[in-house]
Chain A
Amino acid sequence: MALLTVQGLVQHFPVAGSRKVVAAVNSVSFDLEPGETLALVGESGSGKTTIGRCVLGLIRPTGGLIRYRDVEMGGRRTVRSPELRGKLQLVFQEPAESLDPRQRLYEQIDEPLRALGVNRADREKRVRAAAARVGLREAMLGLYPAEISMGLQQRVGIARAMISEPEIVVLDEPTSALDPTARAEIIDLLIRIQRDLGTAYLFISHDLSAVRQISHRVAVLYLGMIVEQGPAAKLFARPSHPYSVGLLSAVLLPNPTIRRESRISLAGEIPSPIDLPKACYLASRCPMVEERCRTRMPEVETVEPGHLVRCYRHEEVVRDGDAVDYFARFQAEAERILGAGMPPQVSTGQPMNESERGNVDHG
């Protein structure tokens, strides 16, 4: 049985002063296995963060089922409940705001353990171990959040999340507020921690290169619906949904001479989640739209085991779309640029040596 099962999750929020609802999440299903990273990607407003909150039980879902091991989350069972405390954790997007400005780093990292009622001696040992794990020096533990850099603040956030030995950590855009160096270090750190502890990550992000680097599987969200999910390497190399193609081609490349050959590009704006069409949500923007797309929502189809897509014309998308893993090219290009005249210890692509994480073709 999967560590976390989400089935048909629906989350609607009422719009103040009207009968309408914001359909933030629409029938989302996915599994998370122990020690695995599943990335939820999508634009702002696609429901990524809401799904994360639902998984932690912080919001009661409108419909659907969320099961952590054999516990059904939501309602009375949340991450706050004594039996679930510390099993699921959260790392925030804004490291500065996620830390109490008036508490020393030591106390911040200690916080989950105090809620768990761990005795003082054990807590001290574990705080020091957690700090060491994320690369915080002992002397830093007496500092306040404002006295350290954002990258270090995020390390505190990670140490704090890891200290309760969680099985699942929801990483809510943990790198998007960081500068590129800190970002790379944090991704590295997260990968190393997962290798050592076997923690499962729900990695919520629109930072596609980070997603490509860290995740085993990817689920692409559009207006609160998963339009495609599958193994990271496959999905990046051969996206089967027009929206995935559009999203992936938005990766910023370090070299403008790398051309994109995609013939599929999305027009227009993301529709309002208040009045969603009954048919395919992408119909109004999709270059490959047909009559049936406008009348009925496509069913989930299996491209190959573990690779699901919600599009009538996914075979054509694969054929016509770009069959180039931009990330692989990005990586190769970055290495070429950084490698020139630089000492060899520059650690680009360091964490990529795990075979499970998408095989990057360095060609």
Chain B
Amino acid sequence: MQLLAYLGRRLLFVAPQLVGILLVSFFLLKLIPGDPAVMMLGPFATDDGLARLRAELGLDRSLLEQFLIYLGNVLQGDLGTSWQTTLPVTTDLAQRFPATLELVTLALLLALAIGVPLGVAGARYKKGLLRTTADYYGLFAGALPDFWFGLVLIFLFYTTWALVPAPLGRLDFVILPPPEITGSLLIDSTLAGNWQALRNAAGHLVLPVLTLGLINAGPILKMTQSTMERMLESDFSRYAEMCGLPERVVARKALRNALPSVVTIVSVLYGFLIGGAVLVEIVFSWGGAGQYAVGGVLNADLNPVMGFVLYSAILSLVIYLIVDLIYFAIDPRTR
């Protein structure tokens, strides 16, 4: 009951939050110089033609009017059309957003699988191989740029050893993609029983997931290690140790108390990577949402950018809601 009331209260704020986000990003984007009409018609357009196109696009109206028209369209589920792809933004994003989500989700799972155990080990042992590994891993993961690391992986695993398919998208051109259900190629091809597509999609995922996962394991490791260290040094851990409880039990207690901050860092990384994975997406020609949005910004193509912002905002709000629910479950203090 308490939980439902809490959820209701949270959802009540979602709509105003989204409108606020759209408002801010709309006006910020309008500040970027560049005229879509000029971009679309090219350098040889006549003034007449430009004026007609501007009127058609509604660019001759005041900014506020433009925003209200956009907002009205959004409410009807119309996010406009991208003049670059000539497709509705909703169609484009329906294809690209799942691509990014699949990549980022798998990468974060990998990062968790590396970062948490290594962070815990680093905190439990003051010296030794595990501690040294954890220290150096955190340092390198923090220092390496992800796109560069991606290129190195491509050079090694594709160019030199030819272990993985070419870094050109999510699926080889010759493979028939499975019918789209969730947008995740792994899930869709499994559902369709298309094992060839599944194997091929997994092969394409290996390097970008490794790139993002190995790099982002760094912050997760650091956060786990420092929180875990703090918990192990706190009085309640020292007391458990003093009582003669085995070290394993003490570490488990400490880890349970360290989990909320791990959840926090993962949620932050998740929200960030939806747009922040763009360099890696470009390296692997992933055709993800970040790449789409950056293309929009560069070509004064407003609708894709706004659509991306809206989708990311909704996704972030959903993630934070889920995170709050997880806190609710794992931390009695929030109840």
Whether A86 pairs with B332 at a CB distance below 8 angstroms is no
Name the segment of A15-23, A111-119, A187-195, A230-238 touching the other chain: A111-119
Q: Is A275 an interface residue (CB 8 A)?
A: no
Q: Are B234 and A97 in contact (CB under 8 A)?
A: yes
CA distance A100 to B257 in the complex (A): 8
Determine the distance from Cα of A98 to Cα of B253 in the docked complex, in whole angstroms.
Answer: 13
Q: State the Cβ distance, A115 to closest chain B Cβ, in Å.
A: 4
In the complex with contacts A80-B244, A114-B245, A146-B332, A98-B239 CB distance below 8 A: yes
Among candidates B239, B253, B256, residue contacting A90 with C-beta atoms closer than 8 Å: B239
A78 to B235, CA, bound (A): 17
Residues 241-277 of chain B, each 1 if its beta carbon lies under 8 Å from chain A, else 0: 1111100000001001100000000000000000000
6 A–B pairs (Cβ distance < 8 Å), ordered by A? A56-B242, A58-B238, A98-B235, A101-B236, A101-B333, A102-B253
Confirm or deny: B78 has a beta carbon within 8 angstroms of a beta carbon on chain A.
no
Q: How far is the CA of A92 from the CA of B257 in the complex (A)?
A: 19
Instruction: Return the chain B residue nearest A57 by Cβ.
Output: B242
B332 touches A82 (CB 8 A): no
Contact B243 A86 (CB under 8 A): yes
Taking A101-B331, A111-B243 as known contacts, 15 extra A-B pairs with beta carbons closer than 8 A to each other, sorted by chain A number, are A80-B244, A82-B244, A85-B244, A90-B239, A92-B235, A92-B239, A101-B236, A101-B257, A101-B332, A101-B333, A102-B256, A102-B330, A115-B240, A115-B244, A144-B332
What's the minimum C-beta distance from B249 to chain A, rounded to whole angstroms?
A: 9
Interface centre among A98, A101, A116, A144 (most CB of B within 10 A): A101
In the complex, which of the residues B245, B331, B332 contacts A111, with contact meaning CB atoms closer than 8 Å? B245
Task: Decide if A111 touches B257 in the complex (CB within 8 Å).
Answer: no
Which residues of B approach A to under 8 Å, CB–CB? 234-236, 238-245, 253, 256-257, 330-333
Q: In the docked arrangement, what's the CA distance between A80 and B238, Å? A: 11
Contact indicator A80/B241 (Cβ below 8 Å): yes
Main secondary structure of the interface of B (DSSP, over half): helix
| Residues of the A chain whose Cβ atoms lie less than 8 Å from the Cβ of B333 | 101, 144, 146
CB distance from B198 to the nearest CB of A (A): 40
* A99 within 8 A of partner (CB): yes
CB neighbours (8 Å) of B236 from chain A are 97-101
A56 to B243, CA, bound (A): 11
A window 78-95: CB within 8 A of B = 79-82, 85-86, 90, 92, 94
Which A residue sits closest to B333, measured CB to CB? A146
The 8 A-B residue pairs with the shortest CB-CB distance, nearest first, are A115-B243, A98-B235, A144-B332, A115-B244, A146-B333, A100-B236, A80-B244, A85-B244
Cross-chain contact A102 with B331 (CB below 8 angstroms): yes
Q: Mark A145-181, 1 if CB is under 8 A from B, else 0.
A: 0110000000000001000000000000000000000
